[in-house]
Each structure stands twice: as structure tokens, then as C-alpha cells.
A and B are shown apart, each in its own frame.
Chain A
Amino acid sequence: MSQVTLKINDREVVAATGMSVLQAARQADIFIPTLCHHDRLEAYGGCRLCIVEVESRGRINHVVSCTYPVEQGLTVRTRTETVDRIRRVLVEELMAHAPDSPELKTLAEEYGADRNRFGKEPIFCVMCGLCVRYCAEIKGEHAVGFIENGPRREISFVPERAAKVCWDCQECFTVCPTSYAQAAYLLARGLAFPDAPGGAGPAK
């Protein structure tokens, strides 16, 4: 595989063609914040927090680094005034949904985000899709999926699948940045399968 050289924050970084800017940066120990990225999953480009400034042939663009492929001679800046401002607003918007997510709190501190800027609508899910993609790509079970659209969009366990596979897996809980997957699962279990094996059952 051929190699390209690019510049990230004034450092020369060598990367293989086909890698994303995010992977190249991580490989060189340059930190870019992410919410929806997972090393074992396909790039998703959902949370937009990994936005960076790229300069190629004199043109400056703001792109999402997890889906932007590296190219020869690319100049990347991971912290500029504009990038920081975009990330701050993204964190502020996400905090309207999940105000107490530890990952968001750390990011809010870093970028000076005001957690009360937007009216709270705590649905506790930031739509990162990690649980959905983990279940589909790694487990191949498709037991959890997105339903509805726009402001009503949410993750939903599919009872027909979940009843067969979720009891012994529950691996998506560890990838969820807000613990919402776990909450949705427990709620579904409590409502639909009160007598499930290893499950809620009657109150102990």
C-alpha cells in the first residue's frame, strides 16, 4: 500500500492511502474528539465533533475527519478558532439532550460550552448510532435499530430479535456514551418481558 505525507498541526505525518484523517491523527498521537467513532466500526460521520480544518492546494475547508481520506500534501489543523467554535456549539446542542453525559461534560470544559444554552429536552440519546452499528457490524444481530425520523428519531430494540440474543450479549451498553442504550433495554425488558430469564422478574 502506498504512503502519503500530510501535515497535522505543523507535524509531518506519514499515513497509508485510504486512511481517514482521523486515523492518521490518532496514529500520530494527535487527539481529535469523537463521540460516534469506534475503531472496529465503519466511519459514520454522525456526531461531527471530529471536524477539522483542511488546506489543500490553497483552499481551506472544514471537514469531518473520520470520513475524509488522507491525501498527499494535505495540511490539517485540529484546533483553530472556527473549529473550536463549531465544536462548542455541537456540544451545547448535544447537552440539551444528554446534559449529564460524562463524555460531554469533559468536552464542554475543554471547549467552554454552556450546558444551559439551549432548552433542555433530555432524551439521553445523542444519536451516535454506536449501539445500532455495533449490533449490526460486529455481532451481525440487528437487534437494535433506529426508528422514526427527524425530532422523533430514537433507538429501539426489536423485540423479535432482542428476545433471542440480547440476554447474553449486552455488549452495546459499554459503547454507549450516555447509558441510554442500557436504559432503553431495561425499559423494554420491564415492559415486554417481565418474566424473562436472568431478567427483571418480580421485584426481588
Chain B
Amino acid sequence: MCEQAVAAIIENHRGQPEALIHVLTAIQHELRWLPREVLARVAEALGVPLSQALQIASFYKVFSLTPKGRHEVHVCTGMTCHLCGGDRLLAKVEEATGLKPGETDAAGRFTLERGSCLGSCSIGPELIVDGRHHGRMTPEQVEVVLAQYP
């Protein structure tokens, strides 16, 4: 299924070097990472050098060159969340998942990231899982929230 979607994305933009970032973004959404062989196929189909595809894919933080977990966990470490106890929240999430920011667990369940202000200061400290905001988090609630994401 994923494979077909990726092939369709690439075919839709064959011969369009200007669509590189667009194609990489679409594939990133589909697979949640950019495998090297997919980058090589994109480069060949769009007519851009592989070195350029690699440069773009490694430059922007939205692209990942390593597999990500099924669920992306973001803990806000911006100023407001920090003052509301964001550090303690992050420490608890690290303990619960066994991950440091930027890492993915072996089972591919969670990827932990931190963000400096994720935009909801009024409900800080916040934890975002797969784009869903969990506001006014306390370390005690972490396990309960994470359990919702198998």
C-alpha cells in the first residue's frame, strides 16, 4: 500500500526537478522517513542529482533519514512550558519511553522529540502525541497518556 502510494507520488512528478521538496514532503508523510533507495528513485525520476536530494533531505528537519516510530511524541521545552515544569515532564517521558530526544525505540513505537515552543503556552506544559495536544501535563499523567498509543 505504502509502496504504491510512493510510486504514485514519484510518477506524478516525473521530470519535474522543481517539485523535489514537494515530493520528499509527501513521501515523508507516507512513510514517516526517507529511505536511501527511495531518495535515489526520486532523484532519478525527477531528474535531479542524488547529491541534491541528499542535501535537501538532510538540511530540513521535517525530513528523517532514519525510520521513525508509529507515534511521534513532542515535549515542549519552550520558555513558558519550562517555567511550568517542562523539564520534569521531559524527564518523566524519557523515563517512561526509555528514549532521549531524537531517538526511536527498537519496537518502533515512539519517537521522542523536543520542541522550543509548540504554540500552546496557555496550556503548558504540554505533550503532543501524533499532533494531538495534551495540555497541563504532570509527570504522573504521562504513563496514562502514552498508554493510549499502542
A residues adjacent to B (C-beta < 8 A): 132, 136, 142-149, 156, 158, 160-161
Given A148-B58, A160-B50: 15 more A-B contacts, CB < 8 Å:
A132-B51, A142-B51, A142-B52, A145-B51, A145-B55, A146-B55, A147-B55, A149-B58, A149-B59, A156-B54, A158-B50, A158-B51, A158-B54, A160-B40, A161-B49
- Least CB separation from B40: chain A residue: A160
- Min CB distance A159 to B, Å, is 10
- Min CB distance A127 to B, Å, is 13
**A145 and B52 form a contact (CB under 8 A):** yes
- Least CB separation from A154: chain B residue: B58
**A142 and B58 form a contact (CB under 8 A):** no
- Min CB distance B74 to A, Å, is 20
Give the residues in chain B near A147, CB-CB below 8 Å: 54-55, 58-59
Give the residues in chain A near B52, CB-CB below 8 Å: 142, 145
Cβ-defined partner of B49 (8 Å) among A142, A149, A156: A142
Q: List 13 A-B contacts (CB under 8 A).
A: A132-B51, A136-B51, A142-B49, A142-B51, A143-B51, A147-B55, A147-B59, A148-B58, A149-B58, A149-B59, A158-B50, A160-B40, A161-B51
Give the residues in chain A near B50, CB-CB below 8 Å: 142, 158, 160-161
Distance between Cα atoms of A47 and B117 in the complex (Å): 34
Give the residues in chain A near B51, CB-CB below 8 Å: 132, 136, 142-145, 158, 161
Give the residues in chain B near A148, CB-CB below 8 Å: 58-59
Give the residues in chain A near B59, CB-CB below 8 Å: 147-149
- Min CB distance B33 to A, Å, is 16
- Min CB distance B17 to A, Å, is 12
Give the residues in chain A near B60, CB-CB below 8 Å: 149
- Least CB separation from A143: chain B residue: B51
Cβ-defined partner of B54 (8 Å) among A136, A145, A149: A145
Give the residues in chain B near A158, CB-CB below 8 Å: 50-51, 54
Distance between Cα atoms of A204 and B135 in the complex (Å): 64
Distance between Cα atoms of A20 and B50 in the complex (Å): 31
Give the residues in chain B near A160, CB-CB below 8 Å: 40, 50
0/1 interface trace, chain B 49-70, chain A, CB 8 Å (1 if under)? 1111011001110000000000
Distance between Cα atoms of A109 and B46 in the complex (Å): 48
Give the residues in chain A near B49, CB-CB below 8 Å: 136, 142, 145, 161
Q: Chain B CB within 10 Å — which of A142, A144, A148, A149 has the most? A: A142
- Least CB separation from A152: chain B residue: B58
